[in-house]
Amino acid sequence: MPKRVITYGTFDLFHIGHVRLLHRLAGLGDHLTVCVSTDAFNEIKGKSSVIPYDQRVEILSACRYVDAVLPENDWAQKREDIRREKIDIFAMGNDWSGKFDDLGDLCEVVYLPRTEDISTTSLKTYMDALRSDQLDEIKHLIETLGEKAAAL
């Protein structure tokens, strides 16, 4: 009997951790549905994405491990999605461990380990640090130019 798997996430700044997670999720069953947080839902969660929702959907749809992509509009939709999509396994990264155990009455709940040393948060932190360094460099150049102009 085929097994249907579902997962949820923002999938911003698509990286090797996402690929490896999707590969492991696809290995749990025969059909993988990925529900992607919309930009509006991310705002409710206090998050912002670098990549807009429609592009994140397009990226995930192009991934060979993903069979279907649906919008995630709110926290409460999971139960209805599981019923409607006839899901056998709800799976998430283990950073969510225990948070969705209440769905166990509808399907099996699985938490998979994250890929070490990579996350969207770490990429955003790195990008912010680069921006900060660049701003410091620009400020220094402006000060230097100002000093040279004042000396003339």
pLDDT digits (tens, 9 = 90+) for 81-139: 999 999 999 999 888 999 999 999 999 999 998 867 756 666 556 566 556 566 666 66
Question: Active site includes 99?
Answer: no
Amino acid in the structure at residue 86? K
| 138 and 81 share one domain | no
Predicted local confidence at residue 47, as pLDDT: 87
| 109 and 140 share one domain | no
Cα of 152 vs its chain's centroid, Å = 53
Q: Provide the token pair at 84.
A: 């409607």
| 24 and 40 share one domain | yes
Question: Active site includes 47?
Answer: yes
DSSP state of 101: G
| 88 and 146 share one domain | no
Q: What number of residues does the chain have?
A: 152
| 106 and 88 share one domain | yes
| 38 and 11 share one domain | yes
Catalytic residue among 45, 86, 99, 139: 45
Q: Provide the token pair at 120.
A: 């969207």
| 76 and 28 share one domain | yes
Q: Pick from 69, 64, 109: which is nearest to 88 by CA?
A: 109
Please give the share of the chain, as a percent, with pLDDT higher than 70: 76
Q: What is the mean pLDDT of residues 66-80?
A: 97
Q: Provide the token pair at 103.
A: 């769905």
Q: Domain of residue 152: give its range.
A: 119-152
User: What is the number of structural domains in the chain?
Assistant: 2
| 56 and 127 share one domain | no
